[in-house]
Chains A and B, each alone.
Chain A
Amino acid sequence: MIGRPDPRPPARPATCPEELTDGPFPDRGARLPGLDPEITAVLTEESAALDEGEHQAWLDTLDPAFRYEIPVPLLREDPVLPRHSPSAVLFEATKRVLELKFGRAGLLQAWSDRPATTTRHFLGSVRVFAAPASGVVRADANLLVTGNRGTEHTVLVSAARQDLLRRRHGRWVLLRRRVLLDVEVATHEQLSVIF
């Protein structure tokens, strides 16, 4: 797997949205500017749920097949080469894993969650594109997150965020999220953020 791309073929037109949660992240399809306001509103509510500690409300924005991944950043000589690994991740999660994470919040021995970190997600430049499955769109955005937890735990982290959203039961839910960190080597405080 060293530096090798995912051996599976690039995402092709999927027969069902769930297929898009595994393998290479789908390329951008046609630009869909008409959806920018609607998807921006969805992502704004979703970020607010994270920042305001509304964990169940946030989990409700995730499709059951949701997958979350933070690829390993790569500092390479040639600017043309990808700046993140196609196969290695700093962290990866399903909805179940994130439910376990938020299930810790009320427990006394959740040492790294108590006291809680105050986060602020600043979302910008949301652009919506077609995705290779019916009822699915890709939304790319710039993200700045701050985190504070006492005097010694202050976080500022920027990233490109790529989401797949799916229309389900009359609303948009997150099907997949890929977080491309700008920093080559993040601190543990930065990596403790849910982006």
Chain B
Amino acid sequence: MSFGADDFVRTIGRRAFIDSDVLDIEYDRVFHPSWQFIGFAGEVREPGDYIVRVLGRDEVVVVRGEDGEVRALHNSCTHRGTRLCRASLGNTAHLRCSYHGWTFANDGRLVGVPALRSGYAPDFDRAEHGLPAARVACRRGFLFATWDAAAPELEDYLGEIAWYLDALLDCGAGEWEVCGPPQRVRTKGNWKIPTDNFAGDGYHMRTTHRIALDQGIYGDTLADGTRGRAGTDLLAVNIATRGGHSVRAGYVLGSGRSLEDRDPADPQFPGYPPERWAELAAAQSPEQVRFTSHCEVAHGVVFPNTVFLSVAHDRAVGEDTDPLTRYLVVRAHVPVSARETECLYWTLVPTAMDQDWRRRSYRFQARTQSAGGILFEMDDFENFARIDAALARSAPGRGGPVDLTLGAGLGVPARGFPGPARAEVATLSEHNQRAFYRRWSELVGELP
């Protein structure tokens, strides 16, 4: 690894993306002390509802107990280690081991041991054999968990990024509905490859997604802004926090215009119905409106492996009568191995929008950037697989380290930007990726 004067990472060795020893270290030093997103409270709405997810190295049963509390329980019997839940979702009052029948309440307590009185010594204590439970925190319906008892509270862990997540959610003028269960797909490539893509990679759009832009699936404004055509420019602001979290917000403005040129009396929320814009603005603080107004695309990372994207698509993927329609998708990039990643996608739609709008929003996501998105997503997967294949076919040192210097030193502070943390204007920059890897390198330390 190499660092710039700002201590952001500039280059990173190739083995970080292919070496299983590095993933082992990441499990201990990156995933263990971090809060990881494990799903939505709405996926376990009723007592006994459960979903099975991965938390660091471990599989956990995320289950709502009879007391209403959501827990993340290790999915492994404390007797022989047998996997308890074989299904991915369901409802149960008890988790019963298929081997010898040890039975756990859905709060993790061991409540049933066959032949307890005849087969075990009198001092056998069931309380000592409950399922290990991770810490769980719920924020606006988002469930996070960590195994680390010493980790800071979730709010402190999120820090400044929470303001931006709240702004994106408040722009929906009310509650959000999760179009679940999540889409899932296994992709080639290390978990950091798609994650740093979401941190701030606007650079790949003109190449990787050139055809999607040309085919008009982003509508004219964003496509032309990205390509610098039709009198518009895409102007992006990068915000990266010390905790490795980031957001990149792209604004389509008239050529030569700046963020300050937006009329605060005329907020615009592309992708939402124009007749609802005043209502959406009223649901936000003035500072949030200054972040969300005219924003065509916003994406980022909640360190380490959760990403989000809010973007609008055009009628090219719908009907001629369809308006530009936005969707918000949250994703988790879960390592399967050092070279394979499972991506889970949850699409969120604001309940303030009517049923047709919500259905269209989900469809536009499903047609483009979904697990099976053959018009868009597959070109990203293609790149991730090509990176993986070439890195794995490189002798140590061959080709040099991975380069992250785009835009280094060229960002301009975004004057008057409303949110916390340093914001810099640099439409094409790897600023956020450098910040992601800065936090990653702090946690990983020196690789042996």
Interface residues of A (CB under 8 A from B): 1-3, 70, 72, 74-78, 85, 87-94, 96-97, 100-101, 103-104, 107, 109-112, 152-153, 184-188, 191-192, 194
Contacts and interface: CB of A to CB of B under 8 A. Distances in A.
A120 to B, nearest CB: 18
Contacts of A112: 374, 378-379, 381-382
Contacts of B186: 185-188
Contact of A185 (B184, B188, B363, B375): B184
Contact of B370 (A89, A103, A152, A185): A89
Contacts, number: 138
A152 to B, nearest CB: 6
Contact of B207 (A87, A109, A152): A109
A97 B342 contact: no
Interface of B: 40, 42-43, 45, 85-90, 92, 177-188, 207-208, 210-211, 215, 217, 316-319, 342, 363, 366-367, 370-375, 377-379, 381-383, 385, 389
Given A90-B183, A187-B187, A74 B317 contact: no
Given A3-B180, A76-B88, A187-B185, A192 B367 contact: no
Contact of B89 (A3, A90, A92): A3
A152 B313 CA distance: 33
Contacts of A101: 374-375
A136 to B, nearest CB: 22
Given A1-B179, A3-B181, A91-B367, A185 B383 contact: no
Nearest to B41: A2
A192 B42 CA distance: 30
Contacts of A94: 318-319
A192 B378 contact: yes
Contact of A92 (B208, B215, B367, B385): B367
A191 B181 contact: no
B271 to A, nearest CB: 19
Nearest to B183: A90
B89 A70 contact: no
Given A3-B180, A92-B370, A185-B185, 19 more contacts: A72-B183, A74-B88, A74-B89, A76-B87, A77-B87, A89-B366, A90-B185, A100-B215, A100-B217, A104-B375, A107-B211, A111-B382, A111-B383, A152-B389, A185-B342, A187-B187, A188-B186, A191-B185, A192-B378
Contacts of B379: 110-112
Contacts of A103: 215
Main SS class of interface, A = mixed
Given A112-B381, A191-B185, A184 B88 contact: yes
A74 B181 contact: yes
A2 B45 contact: yes
A2 B90 contact: no
Contacts of B383: 111
5 contacts: A3-B180, A77-B85, A87-B179, A101-B375, A109-B207
Contact of A100 (B183, B317, B389): B317
Contacts of B183: 72, 88-90
A70 B317 contact: no
Question: Which 3 A-B pairs rank lowest in CB-CB distance, beginning with the nearest?
Answer: A91-B372, A112-B378, A191-B372
Nearest to A107: B211
A78 B85 CA distance: 12
A5 to B, nearest CB: 13
A186 B381 contact: no
Nearest to A194: B374
Given A91-B373, A91-B374, A92-B367, A188 B180 contact: no
Contacts of A89: 183, 366, 370, 372
Contact of B185 (A92, A93, A186): A186
Nearest to B45: A2
A119 to B, nearest CB: 13
Contacts of A107: 211
Q: Which of A2, A88, A111 has the most CB of B within 10 A?
A: A2
B180 to A, nearest CB: 5
A94 to B, nearest CB: 8
